[in-house]
Structure 1
């Protein structure tokens, strides 16, 4: 299992690396099952880079996590999550604030181990 991140500010990358699994950017070649860590753009929309990655690798994505900012974007916090579920049918694991916290990492690792 590998953790793939789409990170603009580095927070998604930091969370991916905190999970203790190999990790890589959505821009790199993928040939194994993964968990996707992504983000919002605009008013809770899916980034184009995430859309492109999902379209190319849907069959390898076992679940996804979205990070967001509750303070600056309270109304659209992790708004990409329901859109990804609706549009692509992917399994939503968790929404996290920024780079996540130890509890977020623990719960996502637990999810990975059980799936």
Structure 2
């Protein structure tokens, strides 16, 4: 299992790497099952890079995490989550703030262990 991230500021990448699994960017070639750590674009939208990745690799994505900023974007915090579920039918694992907390890491690791 690999953790794929779509990170503009580095926070999603930091969370992906904190899980202790191999990780890579959405820009790299994917050859195995993964979970996706992504973000919002604008005000609660799905980033185009995430859309492109999902369209190409939906069959390999076992679940996803969205990171956001509750202070700056309270109304649209992790707004991409319900859109990804609705549009692509992917399993939503968790919404996290920034690069996540220990409880977020533990919850996602538990999900990964149960796959």
Q: CA deviation at 1:81?
A: 0.1
Secondary structure in 1 matching 2:71: coil
- Specify the alignment match of 2:114 in structure 1: 114
Secondary structure in 2 matching 1:20: coil
Matches within 5 A, 1:59-74: 59-74=59-74
Q: Distance in 2 between matches of 1:76 and 1:108?
A: 22
1:44 and 2:44 aligned: yes
Secondary structure in 1 matching 2:30: coil
- So what's the TM-score if we normalise by structure 1? 0.99
- Specify the alignment match of 2:28 in structure 1: 28
Runs of 4+ in 1 over 6 A off after TM superposition: none
Task: Say how many residue pairs are matched.
Answer: 115
Q: CA deviation at 1:43?
A: 1.1
Secondary structure in 2 matching 1:78: coil
Q: Distance in 1 between matches of 2:77 and 2:41?
A: 10
- Specify the alignment match of 2:80 in structure 1: 80
Q: Distance in 2 between matches of 1:8 and 1:63?
A: 20
- For each residue in 1:14-56, what CA deviation from the matched residue of structure 2 results, as whole angstroms up to 9, or x when unmatched? 0000000000000000010000000001110000000000000
Q: Distance in 2 between matches of 1:43 and 1:101?
A: 23
5+ residue gaps, structure 2, are none
5+ residue gaps, structure 1, are none
Secondary structure in 2 matching 1:86: helix
